[in-house]
Amino acid sequence: MDYVDVEHAELVAGTGGHDEQVTYVIDLPEHPFDVATAAKGLAAHVVRVPVHSWNDSLTPWPAPGLHAGDADFGGKAATTLAELASEAIPLLETRFRLTPTRRAICGYSLGGLFALYAFTCDARFDACACLSGSLWYEGWLDYLRAQSFEGTGRYVYFSLGKKECKAGPHIMRSVQDNMEACAEMCREHGCAVDYVLGPGNHMQHHTERLAAGLSALDSCGM
């Protein structure tokens, strides 16, 4: 697979049976999140799925880099989602002997953007956690407004640090307004939605936000 790294995917087994919910966490290959700590004690099984080329794999269309001299974002999320849904998930569920009745997807930063993109594109995901998601991404709100996804019986958890809208390039400072708008759009489509504004900036409280998001997804599957 070009974008999904199934070779390095890892299972954090939950306390439930083989048919318990599986939550797929989109992760960085170079600097992985502490998924094992965040997933401790859950009923759901959590599968950490790294992707190749973070800035390309998880962005829904090409866009300029954030700083002068930065490479552009590659916009390969559709290919990544196709690999994940059609190839990686069946392979991983066979490898880990899982037969879930529900699936959720979770990600942080660009991973959070991708998680929400995947959720709105593919009804196989019953729930989504968008953690400090890059919802400032150029064109994202217009895209989501145009979608006609079915949300009834599905759940979305949004979380953000209070300081995230106060730092970084100007485009990133729209993240709180955009996340609140996305939460409202998901409600309008029939989703159950939680939105949590917590402490810190984008580079702080990663594990705490991840743990809270995974716990929320765990509860929604019960």
**Residue 203: CB atoms within 10 Å:** 12
Domains, the chain, ordered by start: 6-220 (3.40.50.1820)
Distance CA 111, CA 132 (A): 9
Asked if residue 135 lies in contact with residue 175, where contact means CB atoms within 8 angstroms, the answer is: yes
Distance CA 38, CA 32 (A): 12
Distance CA 42, CA 123 (A): 23
Distance CA 216, CA 194 (A): 9
Which pLDDT does position 173 carry in this prediction? 92
Distances (CA, A) of 35 to 31, 107, 158, 193, 212: 12, 11, 18, 23, 12
Which pLDDT does position 145 carry in this prediction? 96
Identify the segments of the chain with pLDDT beneath 70: 221-222
Which pLDDT does position 221 carry in this prediction? 65
pTM greater than 0.85 (yes/no): yes
Which pLDDT does position 119 carry in this prediction? 98
**Residue 207: CB atoms within 10 Å:** 13
